[in-house]
Structure 1
Amino acid sequence: MKKLFLVFCLLTGFATKAQTYADRPFLQDSAEKFAYEEDEANVDLLQIASDRNKAITILSSQGLLLPYEKRIRQDVQYRPLIDMNIIALNRYQGQFVYLTDKAVLSNAWAGKLYINHSIKAPQAMGMGPDFLTLIAGESEFAVFKNNREVWRSSIKDLDPLSVKYDPNSGRFLLLTTGGLYQVDGGANTVKKVLDANNLTAFDLFGDTIVLGTTNGVQILDRKSFAPNKLDQKLPWTEITSVKNIRGNLWFGSTKGAFKLRDDGKYDYYASKRWLVDDQVVDLAEGPDGSVLVLTQKGMSKIGFVPMTLAQKADYFQEIQRLRHIRYGFTSELAMKTPGDLSTGYFHDTDNDGLWTSMYLAGELFRFAVTKSEDAKQNAYEAFEAMERLTALPNLKGFPARSFERDGYEVGLHANGFSEEWREEYVKKHGRIWRLSDDGLWRWKSTTSSDESCGHFFVYALFAELAPDKEWRDRAIHQIKIEMDHIMDNDWYLIDWNGKPTAWGKWNPDYVNKFPINVGDRRLNSTLILSFLQTAYHFTKDKKYKKGAEKLIKKYGYDENANRPATVIGFEEGEDLSNTWNHSDDEMYFLTIPSFVNYSFSEEQKEAHFTSAKSHWEVERSEKNPLWNYLFALSGGKNIDSEESAWWLREFPMDLIDWKIDNDHRKDLTKIAPNFRKQTYTEVLPGDERTLHLHNGAYRNNGGSDGKREYAPYIYLLPYWAGRYVDAISAPQDK
């Protein structure tokens, strides 16, 4: 069945063989967050640990706490512990061990571990084999074996931070504010091996001792204590915690947590996407392969679960259907309370038609690959919403931006414009939201070219891939009436007031007024030729081909469209592009499958493909899978399948619009301000930068206060497009 279908797709020009990424399980990270809100101002969170029973405990200045149902509560399970002054928390043989002002004790081992230490102002403890224990306090420390003291010594101005037992040497390492000491409890000796005053934390890692400082990470040889290097090329250099967790080196800092990767770079966990706040206090191994991050205001449990890209798509599909469908449209979810999905509500955007076309395209690809009845039903539902965009205005093929029941539209203006712009526009042109003929609905006017682009893209795809002829014919009808509207109105989108919309302009007077190095000239020529080619391909009505030929021969539209993307440059002036517009990239790539595959001749097809390839080469550094797969749909072969899969793997599971800042990072190399608005020499993974749509490109900083959740079509469309062009294999469990 699939082979027959692929043959059909090849005949229609909507499939091509691409490099295939084998979709095997990878470790997908996500965060579960727990906030501490009770008496927050009077409580310091100090340490965190998890035991062999998967219990998690937090030591605070007011006793033990535990995470429960997204909050942190007082731990009252062991009543005797409530009355104890617990100073430090340790994990030994998978069990909790507590240092109090009087003793070291545990509730494990039938409660038999009890060391009455008599240390003045105890601060830190560490344990070795057979319950060998070192306890350190102000100016003195003591070593205990079998619950009995075997040696006690003093160090002037001792201010201990942490203690660890090194099984390689059989000795303890004692970190203080003044340096690092080696303590041999058997030989009763202590030796200062590093003199420093900016140390904060340490752990053992391979053949090294890794020390966190207030300005970077100091590496020592584990045997000789010789300094190897001071590493300051980190996401942030003010280190608060260092932990070797299951063979991975983790760091906590005053600006988030990060993990050292095998390639020497770091996975960075910061912002409310990952943490309650960025002031990390402690790190610990968590249950089920997780990592626990304790911060000033709460804790995060960062989990790592084996997952395929297909399973990730299933996860996002459930969210899409549950929280992001409004009248069949794809919709963002706004929230009254930041991060609280239970307070979410739907609202329109300027581009409901475009975003819906992108989700609809993903469902068409999913149906083509899987023959899923659910995908077909979702596609038909979305199509009906888009179909109504031309029905409500009753303007002979003019598409509205969106629609809403009368009285419930979001304001009187197009979203994203200033109040001043709104008042000026309404004064000149009237309300942007218009009442439908039945008086029950409002439809949103001022439709732009990006909406038309989404419509023609998905209607062509629908006409190719929908299984029922009746529905395919409805899509072809939409192509025809929208194309007729533009042609009948001298290559403009004409709004209810008889005037062209701000961006719905393909007339030669408008298009050719731009210099050749301004993207609008090339883009608008490409769009209108693609629209006309699409209309001709499905209707065979020669007026569309004649219209295209007129624009080509008389006004040079093919010459405009076939210029390589490298000609686009900086140009200042009224109505001219003065930066690279990544929304234009989105329109361009949605257009190129029809622009190339529906060309009127092989010669034209080759020229169109060459131009499309030049644009793909410019955008290639973004590693955007949607651009890569749409280029494959246009005939591209080498489409960077691994880079595309990397983008999909690193796409965050949390789709809430949290504010994210990477400006402070010292592990990234910044580049000078540039035309394309690229910030760093490398593209950051999606889970380390602000969430944005496909037109966001290099946007690494920004976001908002967590009051909206993005719709998951951002992931779903590229994933299913990748499956459709065979750039991603079916999921492989092993």
Structure 2
Amino acid sequence: MKARTTSWIIALFCLALSFPSAGQVMSSISQQIRKTIALPPNAGMEVLRLFAKGDSIRVVTSHGLFTYYQDSWSGAPFITGLQVATMDASRQIWLSNGRSLWAEDGKRIPNPALLPGESIRSLAWATSQTLLVGTNRGLHVWQDAWTRVPFPEEMAVNSLAVDAEGNWWLAADRGLWRRQKGRWTNFDQDVMAPGHESNYLTLEPADQGKTLYFSSASAVGALAADGNHWMARGSDGLPYGPVTRMAIKDGTIWMATEKGLIKKDSSWHYYAGKRWLPNDRVLDLLPLGNDRVWVATPEGIVELARIPMSMEEKADSLERVAEARHNRLGLINRSKLALPGELGSSFLENQDNDGLWTSCYLIAQCYRYAVTRDETARVRAVRTFEALERLETVTGISGYPARSYARATDLVAPSRSPHPKNWHDSADGEWQWLDDTSSDEIVGHLFSLSLFHEYLANASQQKRIVDLIDRIVSHILDNEFQLIDADGLPTRWGIWNPDSLNRSTNWMYERGLNSLQILSHLKTAYHFTGKEKFEKAYQYLVEEEGYAKNAVTAKMTDPFEISHSDDILNFFPYYNLLRYTGEDDPSRKLYVKSLRRSWEAVRSDRMPVWNLLASSLLGEDLDLDLAQAALEEFPLDQINWSFTNSHRWDLKKDEFPGRGRAEQALVALPAGESNVFRWNTNPKQLDGGGAGLSEENGSYYLVAYWMGRFHGYW
């Protein structure tokens, strides 16, 4: 079974059975972005509250009150140790440091008489003359003098609110209390479901106090004057809790937790990890309208917003990233970051599957040029083709492309693979190249080269492509369906011969997969060269060795271990195999059956490229709406951040772990909640990521987007 720890997989897609119009106009989508809001150096990082006041934003930190207006700050620290803040009906901010209460205009109220160990937790003005103060031991009321409200037992008052009728509400660790006409009622005891554990954390009035939103230890909900109450727990979609703060704006509910930010509109959204937040602990939040929100954390403030951006504009943005930081001598791959998340520390080095990932970038450029006839796409495609061509010529072994190459004078990074890989000097002394080439490279080369030949190569380039395909497949054919390395031995994964696939238990896992690949390679070579030796070999493998039947089960499924790293090796070959196999070929129906089976096996992964590939080849709409939705939500930030989802309430865990014993969910996670930027990743994996030490090149989006445009799907 392949343990492809270094193998990274990629794109797919098939070619159009018909040519869509090249000038499609793309409608605007709403793109989620993040902007860091740098606090003044003297403000400290401990944000207590965020308030909107006119066109400005008021930020209360433990050091004082600061104002953000037209992208600049004002204010200065005036006291340390601030703990709680609130805003009255006149938009005055009131502050407490545990010793006194005062307003920003200088008004003061003496502190309530606190018991030993008692501290203020919450403030709210019930009227212009009545201030409610919640503590860890109860409630105090200011009406020209302080009164401690007697309750049956001490309780921590976490949040306070006043509804449209002037009733007081308390969220406490001993219930949800309402004071109406002087009488206190504990809703938790009288009417609430027992699952709240009598522990309520926050209250937020909306609709002029007609609706009161609340959070408890295990849910969020709303009490509505019109009786249209609402509640959600994990099984209803609440990603995590308990929710510690809530804010409502334009019908959208924003929620703070100790592990991320939650948004509820027509669906649920979860923001956690460094892609979205400097720290997962959300201290406060402030919706600003137009889908903008400020989020305060112990490590600073960010603004999350949605901006209008077409899918093509997103493609342009991601391509600029690829060109700026991901081109090493024509090879396109992820970049490394010397400092976590710092794009200014980006650097490039060789990687084991440079050939495969470079092929993916060429695929995207071929589709782009086929749709737009853009000269930039043509230039980049030619440059990338020449890099793939060099991978083969640099080895000096006919038809044997290297995994990667570097200049002779470059320092090279050691392989991460457990299988030995060595560097060799080129015959001209100008280059060095990496051996032990995998089936990954062959699959990527043949798919991308065929697209380049068909959609933008000139006559001279077409001849070079045909010759290159001829050499690669001839090398495999002449060496008994194997890739032979510089040492004269087969490479670890370059095996397609019948003795291995059909008669060795060591290759049982790859039997269907590699059978599919070699049949596709032979059909590709025959299509471009017309040489009968390739068709003869194809017929032999089909008729004598049963490779077409093997190919039906190319995708390994339950109850076997699922290898997402092999999915690209599974899907890429379908394009050429189905394109270049005639309708009269009796094996064609087996290949169609294989593709349908493979797509059904990966359908729940919701990766756009698989849906696009299968739809284009099978002539059906196979979840194209999900593919488009995934691309629309795909983040612009391509940094490989760490992500954690195993704590979430809304995700059902699979009883069976994924590959490597990693916990996985039953459903795929969106790219923005994980790190699904390559096709060799498990989109259901709950935790993982790379600590912000690398950046992807955007090909995951680029291939899918331009393939979808090519086929006229959007």
Do they superpose with TM above 0.5?
Answer: yes
Question: In structure 2, what is the Cα distance between the partners aligned to 1:542 and 1:566?
Answer: 30
Question: In structure 2, what is the Cα distance between the partners aligned to 1:43 and 1:228?
Answer: 35
Q: CA shift at 1:599, angstroms?
A: 0.7
Q: Deviations over 1:76-116 (max 9, x none)?
A: 8235x62587554445789662335655534xxxx6xx643
Taking structure 2 as the reference length, what is the TM-score of the superposition?
0.84
Q: 2:103 aligns to what?
A: 105
Q: 1:465 to 1:178 in 2, by over 3 A?
A: same
Q: 2:630 aligns to what?
A: 647
Q: CA shift at 1:588, angstroms?
A: 1.7
Which of 659, 663, 666 in structure 2 is aligned with 1:681? 666
* Matched-pair contact (CA < 8 Å) for 2:45–2:298: no
Q: What letter matches 1:169 in structure 2?
A: E
Q: What letter matches 1:212 in structure 2?
A: S
Question: In structure 2, what is the Cα distance between the partners aligned to 1:222 and 1:617?
Answer: 44
Which of 250, 267, 270 in structure 2 is aligned with 1:268? 270
Q: 2:29 aligns to what?
A: 26
Q: 1:61 aligns to what?
A: 62
Bigger shift: residues 614-623 or 30-39:
30-39
Residue 191 (1) aligns with residue 184 (2): yes
Q: CA shift at 1:194, angstroms?
A: 3.8
Question: In structure 2, what is the Cα distance between the partners aligned to 1:530 and 1:76?
Answer: 63
Question: In structure 1, what is the Cα distance between the partners aligned to 2:286 and 2:49?
Answer: 9
Q: 2:261 aligns to what?
A: 257
Q: 2:10 aligns to what?
A: none
In the TM superposition, structure 1's runs of 4+ consecutive aligned residues that sit over 6 Å from their partners are: 35-40, 224-228, 674-678
Q: 2:572 aligns to what?
A: 590
Q: CA shift at 1:182, angstroms?
A: 4.4
* Matched-pair contact (CA < 8 Å) for 2:48–2:85: no
Which of 584, 589, 595 in structure 2 is aligned with 1:612? 595
Q: Secondary structure at the match of 1:377?
A: helix
Residue 82 (1) aligns with residue 52 (2): no
Q: Deviations over 1:648-704 (max 9, x none)?
A: 123222211111121111211122216888932322211112344112133332112
Q: 1:183 to 1:84 in 2, by over 3 A?
A: farther
Q: What letter matches 1:155 in structure 2?
A: V
Residue 440 (1) aligns with residue 440 (2): no
* Matched-pair contact (CA < 8 Å) for 1:193–1:225: no
Question: In structure 2, what is the Cα distance between the partners aligned to 1:336 and 1:140?
Answer: 52
Question: In structure 1, what is the Cα distance between the partners aligned to 2:590 and 2:229?
Answer: 60
* Matched-pair contact (CA < 8 Å) for 2:88–2:124: no
Question: In structure 2, what is the Cα distance between the partners aligned to 1:33 and 1:191?
Answer: 44
Bigger shift: residues 530-539 or 196-205:
196-205
Q: Secondary structure at the match of 1:337?
A: coil
Which of 462, 476, 480 in structure 2 is aligned with 1:490? 480
1:211-250 residue pairs with structure 2 within 5 A?
Answer: 211-213=214-216, 215-217=217-219, 219=221, 221-223=223-225, 231-233=233-235, 234-250=238-254
* Matched-pair contact (CA < 8 Å) for 2:341–2:692: yes
Q: 1:201 to 1:568 in 2, by over 3 A?
A: closer
Q: 1:348 to 1:13 in 2, by over 3 A?
A: closer
Taking structure 1 as the reference length, what is the TM-score of the superposition?
0.82
Q: CA shift at 1:632, angstroms?
A: 3.2
Q: CA shift at 1:380, angstroms?
A: 0.9
Percent of residue pairs bearing the same amino acid type: 28
Q: 1:216 to 1:331 in 2, by over 3 A?
A: same
Q: CA shift at 1:447, angstroms?
A: 0.4
Question: In structure 2, what is the Cα distance between the partners aligned to 1:585 and 1:433?
Answer: 28
Q: 1:297 aligns to what?
A: 299
Question: In structure 2, what is the Cα distance between the partners aligned to 1:227 and 1:567?
Answer: 47
Q: 1:353 aligns to what?
A: 355
* Matched-pair contact (CA < 8 Å) for 2:45–2:300: no
Q: CA shift at 1:218, angstroms?
A: 5.2
Residue 508 (1) aligns with residue 517 (2): no
Q: What letter matches 1:254 in structure 2?
A: E
Gaps of 5+ in 2: 1-13, 115-119, 189-196
Q: What letter matches 1:623 in structure 2?
A: R
Q: Secondary structure at the match of 1:617?
A: helix
Bigger shift: residues 363-372 or 306-315:
306-315
Q: 2:441 aligns to what?
A: 451
Q: 1:447 to 1:152 in 2, by over 3 A?
A: same
Question: In structure 1, what is the Cα distance between the partners aligned to 2:673 and 2:124?
Answer: 35
Q: 1:169 to 1:416 in 2, by over 3 A?
A: farther
Q: 1:164 aligns to what?
A: 161
Which of 659, 663, 684 in structure 1 is aligned with 2:646? 663
Question: In structure 1, what is the Cα distance between the partners aligned to 2:321 and 2:250?
Answer: 32
Q: 2:117 aligns to what?
A: none
Q: Deviations over 1:462-512 (max 9, x none)?
A: 111115222222222221111121122221111111111001111221221
Name the count of aligned residue pairs: 669
Question: In structure 2, what is the Cα distance between the partners aligned to 1:354 and 1:638?
Answer: 28
Q: What letter matches 2:212 in structure 1?
A: I
Q: CA shift at 1:299, angstroms?
A: 2.5
Q: Secondary structure at the match of 1:658?
A: coil
Q: 1:17 to 1:647 in 2, by over 3 A?
A: farther
Q: 1:601 to 1:87 in 2, by over 3 A?
A: closer
Q: What letter matches 1:191 in structure 2?
A: W
Q: CA shift at 1:140, angstroms?
A: 6.0
Q: 1:230 to 1:700 in 2, by over 3 A?
A: closer
Question: In structure 1, what is the Cα distance between the partners aligned to 2:123 and 2:455?
Answer: 67
Bigger shift: residues 219-228 or 332-341:
219-228
Q: 1:428 aligns to what?
A: none
Q: CA shift at 1:38, angstroms?
A: 7.6
Question: In structure 1, what is the Cα distance between the partners aligned to 2:423 and 2:169?
Answer: 70
Which of 41, 48, 51 in structure 1 is aligned with 2:50? 48
Which of 130, 149, 152 in structure 2 is aligned with 1:155? 149
Q: 1:226 to 1:535 in 2, by over 3 A?
A: closer
* Matched-pair contact (CA < 8 Å) for 1:492–1:506: yes
Q: Secondary structure at the match of 1:162?
A: strand
Which of 706, 717, 728 in structure 1 is aligned with 2:692? 706
Q: Secondary structure at the match of 1:252?
A: strand
Question: In structure 2, what is the Cα distance between the partners aligned to 1:76 and 1:293?
Answer: 17
Q: Deviations over 1:616-656 (max 9, x none)?
A: 12222222111122223424322211011122123222211
Q: Deviations over 1:214-242 (max 9, x none)?
A: x2125453449999767354322333222
Q: What letter matches 1:716 in structure 2?
A: L
Q: Deviations over 1:585-604 (max 9, x none)?
A: 21121110101010145334
Q: 1:460 to 1:375 in 2, by over 3 A?
A: same
Q: CA shift at 1:313, angstroms?
A: 1.4
Question: In structure 2, what is the Cα distance between the partners aligned to 1:689 and 1:375?
Answer: 30
Question: In structure 1, what is the Cα distance between the partners aligned to 2:262 and 2:604?
Answer: 25
Which of 546, 556, 562 in structure 2 is aligned with 1:556? 546
Q: 1:410 aligns to what?
A: 412
Question: In structure 2, what is the Cα distance between the partners aligned to 1:348 and 1:94?
Answer: 62
Q: CA shift at 1:517, angstroms?
A: 10
Bigger shift: residues 315-324 or 283-292:
283-292
Q: CA shift at 1:341, angstroms?
A: 0.8
Q: Secondary structure at the match of 2:302?
A: strand
Question: In structure 2, what is the Cα distance between the partners aligned to 1:397 and 1:613?
Answer: 32
1:355-434 residue pairs with structure 2 within 5 A?
Answer: 355-412=357-414, 414-417=415-418, 425=420, 432-434=422-424
Question: In structure 2, what is the Cα distance between the partners aligned to 1:137 and 1:700?
Answer: 38
Q: Deviations over 1:569-597 (max 9, x none)?
A: 65xxxxxxx62222222112111010101
